[in-house]
Amino acid sequence: MQIKTNSIRLTLILFSLTLGSSSQAINLANVKIDSVKKDQTQTELNTLFSLKKGNGLKSWGFTAGPVLQFGQLGFEQGVNFAIHVNNQWSFGAGVLGNIRGGDDRNMPTSSKPRQSFSGFQVEYTPKPNSLIHVSFPLMIGAIRSEDPNNIYNSNLKMGAPAPINWDGDFDDDHRMFNRGPAAFGIQPGVSLELNVFKYAKLFGAVNYRFAAGQNSNADMKGVSGQIGLKLGVFDRPFKAKTSPKK
């Protein structure tokens, strides 16, 4: 009986010691964790674009200009608008097309159906301050072919009798693409630019236009060349430079 009582006492003592050790260990762990949180620096969020001082938006610009395109897609003309960021990136919109008036005799001819291409543009220029430099434009948008039932597609000449179903609207020629087949277009390219003066750049480019979608066809795709102008401001700082204190 005495042995049993001693065993019970020994068990209780060991259990108490175990609980005490565990409590002490937990307290030490909490103190250690708390100290680590207080002493270590907070980790920062890593992002693709940083807006820290000196790494954010530094300059802006705005340009517009005419563009002529030629090649497998036929002769096209258009205009581009762009906002420039940090003198290397530009974001804007443009339109290209061989939209012509009723009298086509003075315009270049092509076996390709007439079409328009309009959409958003992004362009990257690694070294814009060099006299001659390279840039990489990309245009994404909609390709539209002319309506095959347009009155001018039947070689209507000035002074000839109009078709019976003609509504008398001469502007219909400029809206013919809104009723023709449409497709999704992507046109990447490589451009060579010349800084003519502070407010103008002259460029020539080589592009390839891809077309996708149910109405896309071979006439919407092809290699083309471009020449054009960019007129405007290119590298205006967001904040005016302050003169150093004397």
Comparing 112 with 35, the larger pLDDT belongs to: 112
| Model confidence at 15: pLDDT above 90 | no
Separation of alpha carbons 225 and 221, rounded Å: 13
Using alpha carbons only, what angle is made at residue 161 by residues 157 and 167, rounded to the nearest 5 degrees? 100
Express each pLDDT in 144-167 by its tens digit.
887 666 545 444 444 455 454 444
In the chain, the number of structural domains is: 2
Comparing 33 with 123, the larger pLDDT belongs to: 123
Express each pLDDT in 43-79 by its tens digit.
666 665 555 555 677 889 999 999 999 998 889 999 9
**187 shares a domain with 65:** yes
**97 shares a domain with 6:** no
3 state SS of 154: helix
Separation of alpha carbons 94 and 112, rounded Å: 21
**122 shares a domain with 4:** no
**132 shares a domain with 21:** no
- Joined together, the tokens standing for residue 245 give 């204190």
pTM of the predicted structure, to 2 decimals: 0.64
Burial of 9 (0-12, 13-18, 19+ CB in 10 A): exposed
Q: What CATH number is associated with residue 130?
A: 2.40.160.20
**189 shares a domain with 137:** yes
Instruction: Give the domain extent around 8.
Output: 1-29
According to the model, what pLDDT value does residue 219 have? 86
**199 shares a domain with 132:** yes
**22 shares a domain with 75:** no
From the list 87, 86, 66, 88, the residue with the least C-alpha distance to 77 is: 66
According to the model, what pLDDT value does residue 157 have? 44
Separation of alpha carbons 67 and 79, rounded Å: 5
Q: What is the DSSP string of 26-52?
A: HHHHHHHHHHHHHHSPPPPPP-SS--S
**228 shares a domain with 151:** yes
Comparing 238 with 73, the larger pLDDT belongs to: 73
Separation of alpha carbons 177 and 237, rounded Å: 41
* Helix, strand, coil percent values for the chain (each to nearest 5): 20, 40, 35
Separation of alpha carbons 41 and 35, rounded Å: 12
For residue 197, tell me if it sits in a domain: yes
Confidence of residue 20 (pLDDT cuts 50, 70, 90): low
For residue 46, tell me if it sits in a domain: no
Separation of alpha carbons 149 and 113, rounded Å: 13
Separation of alpha carbons 15 and 20, rounded Å: 9
**3 shares a domain with 116:** no
For residue 199, tell me if it sits in a domain: yes
3 state SS of 5: helix
| Model confidence at 98: pLDDT above 90 | no
Least confident of 39-53, 190-204, 231-245: 39-53
For residue 40, tell me if it sits in a domain: no
For residue 43, tell me if it sits in a domain: no
For residue 42, tell me if it sits in a domain: no
**63 shares a domain with 13:** no
For residue 220, tell me if it sits in a domain: yes
According to the model, what pLDDT value does residue 138 have? 97
For residue 175, tell me if it sits in a domain: yes
**172 shares a domain with 97:** yes
**109 shares a domain with 24:** no
Highest mean pLDDT among 170-174, 193-197, 213-217: 193-197
Separation of alpha carbons 224 and 189, rounded Å: 9
